[in-house]
Structure 1
Amino acid sequence: MGGHYITLEQRHRLSDTTLYPGSAGGGVVGGSRVGHRRLSSCQVLLLVLVAGSSVIALYAYWDVMTAGARDPDGHSPRQLSNETLAQQLRREVRVLCWVLTTPKYHKSRAVHVMRTWGKRCNKIYFMTSESDDELPTIVLNKSDKYEVLWGKTKEAFTHIYQHMRDEADWFMKADDDTYVFVENLRYMLYPYSPDQAIYFGYNFKMIGAHNKNESYMSGGSGYVLSREALRIFAEGLNDSTKCRQEDNSAEDVEMGRCLLNLDVKAGDSRDSKLRNRFYPLLPFDMLLSGNSGLDFWLYKYAYYSVRSCMDCLSEYPVAFHYVNPEQLYVFDFFNYDFQLVGKQKPEERLPQKIRPEDLVIPDYDNMFT
């Protein structure tokens, strides 16, 4: 053996650069060359840090590239860099608007809707009886008569379901004398899933023989259906036991009855302070109304108690009715161009999502009949 061995004590004392006895510079043990060097603790730590940083960088890149997609649980993506809240909502809460009009109002009403609030919808179509090169029109087969509004509404929603249901998450019906704050509409809808059977508008209570909490939405200020509500309506409206088959009836009342019978929930569109966001009248009529008598039709039909006062309007209204073309542009100016020096802008944040099992719709509280 002649000195060609290492005791246990010697092996523990050898450094990484020590050669085994009998090796001439290369270090051979049992016929194999020893060419490995053990890393120091500092080198190991540095290697771990480099690897960890690489993993974090790759994850951050993946997160940014996939920020525009929803995850399998339906959670909304985060706000992208340099993106306003309105832009985020436009991306996450897609709204298809359709406006009920007639050829005689194409130039005097419909084109002005298109030039103001209509351009803020993700998609917009005008339901009418004649096509128009200035408007994205869909020609209906029904006559231009007020008595067949229910028939036109059925046909319009059916057409949208058959041909355009993948273009949006929510589907808003409005008249050509309605003004819609589309950004506020998206903000209101944000907590709700479009896969839930629900719709929103200004809640009216059913008059006559009906159950306590039956309601429908005002046709004038418009109403919006979720994607699931649209599907249920389009596939169920031919059931004569649930939906009126004749066309000659009040559109909004029949819509409410049909959706109620199809188990589509009539949602509460009021804000956190219980102030309405859809209005069947103009702002002045709601702020300082001269219709103070309790026999005024609005007080009779309102599902939730209604007041007329200077602090009764929501800061984030969605829609007003009886808006003429000139007022459309006034609304646009004071909400998108007008600036007030020194006014502090409120901090805006999105509301919490509402799970379908946590949804609570309050009972009506208007005691006037």
Structure 2
Amino acid sequence: MDIWRDPRRHSCWSPQFAIFILLNLSALVYWNFKLDNLICSGQHPSVSERMLRKRDTGSASSTNAAGPRIFCMINHKAGNKARAKAVQATWARRCDGYTFASTRSVPGASTILIARNESRQVIWAKVQAMIRYADGIRDDFDWFIKTDDDTYVIVENLRHFLQARSPTEPVYIGTELAKEIPGGYLSGGAGYVFSRKAIELLRRGFDRDVCNFTDTWMEEVPLEECARKVGVHHDGETLDDLGRARFLPHNPKVHFTPGNENLLGWLKYSLGHHRNCCSDSAISFHYVTPINMYIYDYLIYNLKPHR
């Protein structure tokens, strides 16, 4: 049967159908107006705003009664609407609240606005703004994860991983890289998770002007240097019991491919390849295209093999 029908064959609408269409369009306009008036731009989100940004109806984490409260902060490159839309439609809705940080507002989402021209050099400025923002809502959440807009996060696995950790510990958590500075630092693309205490101490350090605020695209290094000065330590020991990574600095295709076990020496701990690279309880993948975000979401939350 041909599903591509000629619309001219079905041009006669009944009055009842026309009324039905008008009523639904009116409702849609009303709720879009309400949403536009509720969404904030760079301001602290209210409870109602956080609920508007958490519209998950089909996944296991549509409610969070017992686990740690997680706020997600996403570095967004202004103008890349496809990335922001994919993040909003997939994993971000499973956070207990989220915001983007960008040089321009993200439609339909809370945005921390950075008064700069968009470039890779302002990533560190965005992270500073995220930390200041998080400090303002520190009492509402336990943990704050920073990611990029091409990072995919399995929020349920993150919440489970954090169950045994205390948000009063001065720590930020992720996957450890071995280059650039002695003692290592964490991958920003794979995402790092700040405790509530870490946010407080970093913000105090910013106010005391003890950190380096020079623009750089490699925000991980000045962040690590700043953290050490204010008494926040990093924890990159996040492999599972089989030595597989939970925070992945690249996408599954790269990590599954033989020869990429330590990403040319960047990783502190070499991983396996194929299924030995990535934990069954993986938390994040980086360099994920918008279309692959939708695919990951489908494979994780919708595809159900018959048993």
TM class by shorter chain equals: 0.7 to 0.9
Give the one of 193, 203, 228 matched to 1:260. Answer: 228
- Cα separation, 1, equivalents of 2:98 and 2:217: 26
**Secondary structure of the equivalent of 1:171?**
strand
1:99 partnered with 2:99: no
Identify the range of structure 1 (262-271 vs 222-231) with the bigger mean alpha-carbon deviation: 262-271
1:144 partnered with 2:118: yes
- Deviation track 1:236-261 (CA, whole Å, cap 9, x = no partner) reads 135555x2132235201211221123
Alignment of 1:1-369 (within 5 A): 86=61, 91-105=66-80, 107-162=81-136, 164-207=137-180, 210=182, 214-239=183-208, 241=210, 243-248=211-216, 250-267=218-235, 268-291=237-260, 298-342=263-307
Distance 1:145 1:338, change over 3 A: same
- Deviation track 1:307-352 (CA, whole Å, cap 9, x = no partner) reads 323323100100001100100011001100111111xxxxxxxxxx
- Cα separation, 1, equivalents of 2:205 and 2:145: 19
- Cα separation, 2, equivalents of 1:138 and 1:124: 11
Aligned to 1:43: none
Q: Which has the larger radius of gyration?
A: 1
Distance 1:286 1:139, change over 3 A: same
Residue 336 of structure 1 aligns with an amino acid whose one-letter code is Y
**Secondary structure of the equivalent of 2:247?**
coil
Identity of aligned residues (%): 31
Q: TM-score of the superposition, structure 1-length normalised?
A: 0.63
Conservation of the 8 A alpha-carbon contact between 1:93 and 1:169: yes
- Deviation track 1:142-200 (CA, whole Å, cap 9, x = no partner) reads 331111211221122112212x2122110011111010000000111110000111111
**Secondary structure of the equivalent of 1:125?**
strand
- Cα separation, 1, equivalents of 2:86 and 2:184: 32
Structure 1 residue ranges, 4+ long, deviating more than 4 angstroms after superposition: 84-90, 238-241
Conservation of the 8 A alpha-carbon contact between 2:174 and 2:247: yes
Residue 253 of structure 1 aligns with an amino acid whose one-letter code is V
Q: Which has the higher contact order (CA 8 A, sep 6+)?
A: 2
Aligned to 1:67: none
Corresponding pairs, count: 248
Aligned to 1:365: none
Conservation of the 8 A alpha-carbon contact between 2:67 and 2:160: no
Conservation of the 8 A alpha-carbon contact between 2:62 and 2:94: no
Distance 1:111 1:303, change over 3 A: same
Conservation of the 8 A alpha-carbon contact between 2:177 and 2:267: yes
Conservation of the 8 A alpha-carbon contact between 2:185 and 2:224: yes
Conservation of the 8 A alpha-carbon contact between 1:111 and 1:134: no
Residue 240 of structure 2 aligns with an amino acid whose one-letter code is D
- Cα separation, 2, equivalents of 1:261 and 1:178: 28
Distance 1:90 1:204, change over 3 A: farther
Distance 1:275 1:132, change over 3 A: closer
Deviation at 1:88, TM superposition (A): 7.7
Residue 293 of structure 2 aligns with an amino acid whose one-letter code is L
Distance 1:90 1:178, change over 3 A: farther
- Deviation track 1:124-155 (CA, whole Å, cap 9, x = no partner) reads 10111222442222212233111121122112
Structure 2 segments unaligned to the other structure (5+ residues): 1-58
Q: TM-score of the superposition, structure 2-length normalised?
A: 0.75
